[in-house]
A and B are shown apart, each in its own frame.
Chain A
C-alpha cells in the first residue's frame, strides 16, 4: 500500500492564503444573502419598519413609566431612555430568524452542495453573521434617525452612537449564532421558531431595555446582570448619556465580544452534528 502524501504543515504563507479564501467565501455568501433581501422588497421594508413601530409603540405606551418614583432617567426623555432598548430589541428579534435560511438550504440541496464544496464551515457561518450585522447596522441607523427626528438628543454623540452600533451588532451575532446552531441541530423550521420565541421575550423583559430594572423585583435585577441583552442595553445607554460612564461600558462590551466569539465558534461546530445526521 502506497503512503499517502501528507500535506506539509501549514506555513505562514498557506495560512494567509487560507484566511484570504475564508474572507472571500464569506463575502460571496454575505452578498448572496443581501441580494436575496434586496429581491424581497416587502420583507426588506418590514425589516426597516419594524424598529420604527417598536420605538413609537413603546415610546407612547410606556411614556408615563418615567413618572414612577425612583425611575432613573437621568436628564433626558423616555424616548432617550428607550432608544438603545429598542435598538437592541430589534437586533435580537431579527437575528433569531437567521437560522431559517439554513433550514431552507437544508430542505433544498443547497446546504449539502455547499458542504461538499471547498467552502469552509467558518465562511458559511461568517457569511450569515455578516449579513445579520449589516441589517442590524441599517436598522439601528433607522431608529437613531427617527429618534432624532422626534427631537430626542443623545449627549454621548458619535462615540455613543458607535458603541450602540457595536453592541447591537454583537447581540445580533450572538443570537444569530444561536439560531444557526439550533437550525443545524434541529433541522426543522417549527422547532427553531418555537425555541427562538421562547428565548427572546424573557431576554427582553429580564433586561432594562424598556424598563428601569431598579424598579423591578430584586431577582430580576440579579438575572439581568447575566443577561447579554442587558449588557448591550446598559453599555449603549451609558455611552449615549451626558458624561458617558465608560467604566460601565467597556466591561460589558468585552463580555459581549467574548460571548459572540464563543457562540459563533460553537455554531460552526454544529455543522459537524448536522453532518453526522446525514
Chain B
C-alpha cells in the first residue's frame, strides 16, 4: 500500500447507532457507509434529512465515534490520531459557528490562534479572507449583527483560516435566500479551485450538488446508494423523463401497471398520485402513453417531459422522489 494515499478522505463500512430512548429500538444512522474522496476534489453527500450525512461528517471530523468501521482523513486514522486530523481539517457545521459577541475579525483571529498560527500570520490571513468574502466593511462589527448570508460566509472563512487540507461543509446554504446561496456557491467553487483543498459538502439541494461537486454520492438510510460524477449519473439514465400527474394514487398504480407493458417506456414508477417513466424520446412517447391511458379509462391531469436531472437519479436509486423524501 503506498504511503501517499491519493484519497483525501476514506470511510469504510461505517456503522453508527443511536439510542432512541427507553424501550425504543436504536436508530441506525449509518449502516455500512463507504466513501472515498480524491484529494483536491469537491465531493457532495446528497440525501434527505436523517439519511446519515451529518453523522458521516461528525465521524470524519473526530466529533463522534463509529460503532464499527474505519475512517481516515489525509491518511490519518480518525480514531487513532484525532489530534493530527483536527489540524488538517476545517469544519463548517450546520449551525452558525461564529461567536456572536465577537467581531468578524476577532472570530477569524481566534480561530487561527487555536490552530497554533502566530499572531501576525493569523491577522494577515484574517484580512485576506475578509477581503475574499467581501466582509471588509463589516469586519469590526459583532457577528450577531450579520445577515444570514454574511454570517454563513464568516463561518466558511473561519473554517478556512488555517488553510485546512480538507474542508467539511455541513449543509452550508440551508436557510439562505437564493441570492445568498448562489453567492456562497460561487465562493466555494472559486476557493476549492485556488487553494487545492478537498471539500466534502453535505446537502439536500440537488442543485447544489450538481453545481459544486466533482463527484457525488446519494445517501439513503445510512448507506451510499450510488456515486459518480453528476454527468455520469445523469447520462446513465438514458433518455427523457416523462412525468404524468393523475387524479389519485390508485389511478397512478393502475396506470403504472398499464404503462409498464407499453413499449418505449422504461423504469415506470408511481409516487403518490404521480408517475414517472423514462423514454428514449419523450416527445414521441407522450401520444402513445396518453392513448394507452385513455383506452384504460384513466384520467390524466398533466403530462410533462424533461431532460434527466439529479432528482431522477435519486428516484431511480433511492426508490422515491427526492422531494417526497426530503
Contacts and interface: CB of A to CB of B under 8 A. Distances in A.
Specify whether A and B are partners.
yes
Interface of A: 1-2, 4, 7, 21, 24-25, 28, 32, 35-36, 39-40, 107-110, 112-119, 275-276, 278
Interface of B: 1, 3, 58, 61-65, 77, 80-81, 83, 86-87, 89, 91-102, 106, 110-111, 113-116, 142, 155, 158-159
A4 B80 contact: yes
A278 B96 contact: no
A252 to B, nearest CB: 37
Task: Give the secondary structure class of B's interface.
Answer: loop
A108 B96 contact: yes
A32 B110 contact: yes
Contacts of A25: 114
A117 B115 CA distance: 7
A116 B91 contact: yes
B86 A118 contact: yes
Given A118-B83, A278-B58, A113 B97 contact: yes
Contacts of A1: 1
B64 A278 contact: yes
Contacts of A116: 61-63, 86, 89, 91
Given A2-B1, A28-B110, A39-B142, A110 B63 contact: no
Contacts of A2: 1, 3
Contacts of A119: 114
B87 A108 contact: no
Contact of B116 (A4, A115, A118): A118
17 contacts: A25-B114, A35-B102, A40-B101, A108-B98, A109-B94, A109-B155, A112-B58, A112-B93, A113-B93, A113-B159, A116-B86, A116-B89, A117-B91, A118-B83, A118-B115, A276-B64, A276-B65
Contact of B114 (A4, A118, A275): A118
B275 to A, nearest CB: 41
A113 B108 CA distance: 13
A275 B59 CA distance: 10
A273 B65 CA distance: 12
Contacts of A275: 63-65
